Amino acid sequence: MRILLYFFLTCLALRSSKIRALECDLSQYRPQPGLEAAISKDELEINWSGTDRLPLRLRLSIDQGTPVIRAIEMRKRTGWVRLAGHLVPEFGVTTGLRRSGHGLPEENRWDVYWDAPLSIPGAPTGNPNLPRKPEEVRRFKASYRADRCKLRTNGARLEISFPGVEMGIFSGELQFTVYRGTSLLRLELIAKTDEPSVAFKYYGGLTGFSRTQFEKVVWRDVGGNPQDCAFGGAPNQDPVALRARNRLAIIGGKAGSIAFFPPPHQFFFARQLEVNLGFVWYRKDDDSHFSIGIRQGDSHEGYNPTWIQQVFALYNAPPGTWQRMPVYFFFSPKDEPDCRESVLAFTHGDRYKPLPGYQTMVTHFHTAFTQELMNSGSLDTQAPWIPAMRALGINIAHIFDFHGDGHPKDPGPVRFQELENYFEACRRHSDRDFLILPGEEANAYLGGHYNIVFPKPVYWTHVRPEGTPWAARHEKYGKVYHTGSAADVFELMKAENALVWQTHPRTKGSTFYPDKIRETDYFRSDQWLGAAFKSLPVDLSHKRLGEIRCLGTLDDMNNWGRPQYMVGEVDTYKKFPEYDLYGDFNVNYVKLDRTPAFDDWSAVSRALRAGEFFVSTGEVLIRNYSVKKSGQRIDIDAEVEWTFPLEFVEVVWGDGRTVGSQFVSATEQPPFGSHRYRIRLDAGNKKWVRLAAWDSAVNGAFTQPVHLE
């Protein structure tokens, strides 16, 4: 009946108008309250209930093959008000060749970190087949040849797609998505390429905004100060990149405001520094119109450019994969400050939300803390990264000194003095709600890169000169250790109850690890915690961050034998208050009632060793998680909370050889929601299970595996 009604309306429109009717496939559309669509002549009209039940309307059409937003409207007390109209999507990509590095074989080149496809000719070391050639870098702008659309109901959202997009080596479709319960609009180009080794970045946005409707674009600069542009100058030839705090800018006018921003985390491929590269842009096209959108920079920027220029990897585009390139817009009937607060709610104001019974912990930072304070002349100098991290709501900052700084290979005198300064600096800058936890990416003897953390300060060296005992008594530091082999380090791990995990598994300096050490006594011991999680690499066709390299490593390790866990890591260097940290971070919610004091943080070690933590990007939270096995039944119970509309919840399991999962769609859930998920599984041959939840912007959280026997 719905299809017959569609054809009747189409024919009626053709008879009554000379304008060509819009052809739209409605076979997957199901009307529901607060989420409805209708075809009127040459337009598709979408009506949905936005934030605070604000009625919103999106009118779409095709103009000479180009999908166009005829109007964005909202209903106020006086009736429907036009917020903007006659807007055209604008997308483009910059592509380069993906190369492998750090010994990665060709089939694993997609896991590369040390690659910078836009750096011509490239650093003299790091990648094969250098120098790069200028013709490797290509820039393409999207063109449109749409002749129809497709409307699909997906839970509590409507997806409207237009085929016929061509963008150089990419081709695909344009999609608009609206969500019941929020004033978000997700505009994305979904495209694939068949070329074999493509790395890329994209920009996207909307063009055609009228200066009579919108007076200015506003943002906060990196210092948090309000800034604006009233479009009073000459037209721009290129987009004006805004180094906007929180990766967010807003246009304001008489009818209301529109915010524009990228996805909070998946948009950011791994770098060494969190320098704000200007991720939102505007462009004054002429005296009457302007454009807005999101973009990525062309280079890393920041200090120490000699080696940092080797790290600007872009996104992966393996042949045939559908790369999703989104831009988010948020519509508000209020002014710019209110609109800003509404958008920041999706990331809790770029802070990790406090959870009763949990402490937030971030790991893996090479800040050269000790060296920086010693160079300043005082251990009481506050390093700039400390207030930057505290502003994120972090309770425990786990840092790794002596990674290119200090003298880790010194046999004792210099090394012990540096450790003393390290511990004292961490002690002085910790307090009741903020612990600086001293760790070290030692990378000595065990294989690959790893972190070692003790439950209290421990003095040890990475070298053991001939004739030097493994353990000795020092008149100032008490018991000290000298290690010169994997056996020495393992004995140290056991003696001081250390925890060790593989940093950046299967890439960078841990290429082929932990696979190469899976049969060693130290990997199979209780002292080896597992590996680390980071969004590296980034493939925009994936529905999860770290989908293959990280979560694949976690599942493999648990199939190999004893319980192994995955700690969220960031792995960046110096940082300053003007950096934008949130997009590159993830956090560990560790089950602790309070922040431990310095000198004895053994409670952190106990919680990690027990797997009593979950990893989150911040927007999705999992608490009160339990797994119970009774006979041939497994019951999983979890309270999940989210901000962006949720995408799915999944249970993943292993039987010692293979990995399986049960997928629970969550697209019917509202934004800013919570739900208690009770999932029952047949026990079968399942050895372990874990739970994860991911939202529509590819933000997520996952628990640690629970072994069933």
> Which pLDDT score is estimated for 123?
78
Residue 352 falls within a domain, yes or no? no
Residue 17 falls within a domain, yes or no? yes
CB 256 within 8 A of CB 74: yes
Q: If you average pLDDT over residues 189-195, what whole number do you get?
A: 98
Please report, for the domain that includes residue 406, its CATH number: 3.20.20.140
> Can you read off the two tokens belonging to residue 665?
């769609």
Contacts of 365 (CB under 8 A, 6+ apart): 385, 397, 398, 399, 400, 570, 571, 572, 573, 575
Please report, for the domain that includes residue 635, its CATH number: 2.60.40.2060
> Can you read off the two tokens belonging to residue 702?
């996952």
What tens digit of pLDDT does each residue of 293-314 get? Answer: 999 999 888 765 556 668 899 9
CB 440 within 8 A of CB 365: no
Q: If you average pLDDT over residues 511-520, what whole number do you get?
A: 96
Question: In terms of domains, do 574 and 633 share one?
Answer: no
Question: In terms of domains, do 651 and 516 share one?
Answer: no
> Which pLDDT score is estimated for 124?
73
Question: In terms of domains, do 363 and 387 share one?
Answer: yes
Q: If you average pLDDT over residues 426-452, what whole number do you get?
A: 96
What tens digit of pLDDT does each residue of 606-637 get? Answer: 999 999 999 999 999 998 999 999 999 999 99
What tens digit of pLDDT does each residue of 240-280 get? Answer: 999 999 999 999 998 999 999 999 999 999 999 999 999 99
At residue 479, does pLDDT exceed 50? yes
Question: In terms of domains, do 288 and 369 share one?
Answer: no
> Can you read off the two tokens belonging to residue 204?
């996207």
Question: In terms of domains, do 365 and 449 share one?
Answer: yes
Question: In terms of domains, do 290 and 411 share one?
Answer: no
Question: In terms of domains, do 655 and 640 share one?
Answer: yes
SS3 content of the chain, % helix, strand, coil (to 5): 15, 40, 45
At residue 202, does pLDDT exceed 50? yes
> Can you read off the two tokens belonging to residue 622?
């999992």
Relative to beta strand 66-76, strand 79-97 is: antiparallel
Residue 581 falls within a domain, yes or no? yes
| Count of structural domains, the chain | 3
Question: In terms of domains, do 519 and 460 share one?
Answer: yes
What tens digit of pLDDT does each residue of 668-707 get? Answer: 999 999 999 999 999 999 999 999 999 999 999 999 999 9
> Which pLDDT score is estimated for 309?
66
Q: CA-CA-CA-CA torsion for 605, 606, 611, 616, nearest 10 degrees?
A: -50
Residue 131 falls within a domain, yes or no? yes
Domain span at residue 679 reads: 619-709
Residue 669 CA to residue 662 CA, distance in Å, equals 18
Please report, for the domain that includes residue 123, its CATH number: 2.70.98
Residue 307 CA to residue 301 CA, distance in Å, equals 11
Residue 599 falls within a domain, yes or no? yes
Question: In terms of domains, do 252 and 374 share one?
Answer: no
What tens digit of pLDDT does each residue of 361-396 get? Answer: 999 999 999 999 999 999 999 999 999 999 999 999
Distance of CA 591 to the CA centre of its chain: 23
Residue 138 CA to residue 656 CA, distance in Å, equals 45
Question: In terms of domains, do 484 and 627 share one?
Answer: no
Residue 26 falls within a domain, yes or no? yes
* Local structure of 55: helix, strand or coil: strand
Q: If you average pLDDT over residues 425-446, what whole number do you get?
A: 96
Of the residues 347, 373, 398, the one at which a domain ends: 347
Relative to beta strand 24-28, strand 149-153 is: parallel
**Per DSSP, which regions of 122-245 are E strands?**
138-141, 143-144, 149-153, 157-167, 170-179, 184-192, 198-210, 214-220, 226-229, 240-242
Cα-flanking dihedrals φ and ψ of residue 376, to 5°? -75, -20
Residue 353 falls within a domain, yes or no? no
Question: In terms of domains, do 304 and 428 share one?
Answer: no
Of the residues 616, 644, 679, the one at which a domain ends: 616
| Closest C-alpha among 355, 351, 349, 366 to residue 613 | 355
**Per DSSP, which regions of 392-449 are E strands?**
396-400, 435-439
> Can you read off the two tokens belonging to residue 502?
């593989």
Question: What is the dihedral sign for C-alpha 97, 120, 127, 295?
Answer: negative
Question: In terms of domains, do 545 and 678 share one?
Answer: no
Relative to beta strand 435-439, strand 396-400 is: parallel
Residue 66 CA to residue 83 CA, distance in Å, equals 21
- Which strands, in side-by-side order, build the sheet including 471-474? 459-461, 478-482, 471-474
Residue 317 CA to residue 347 CA, distance in Å, equals 28
Compute CA distances 665 → 159, 669, 701, whole Å. Answer: 16, 9, 15
Residue 1 pLDDT level (bands cut at 50, 70, 90) = very low
Of the residues 568, 601, 616, the one at which a domain ends: 616
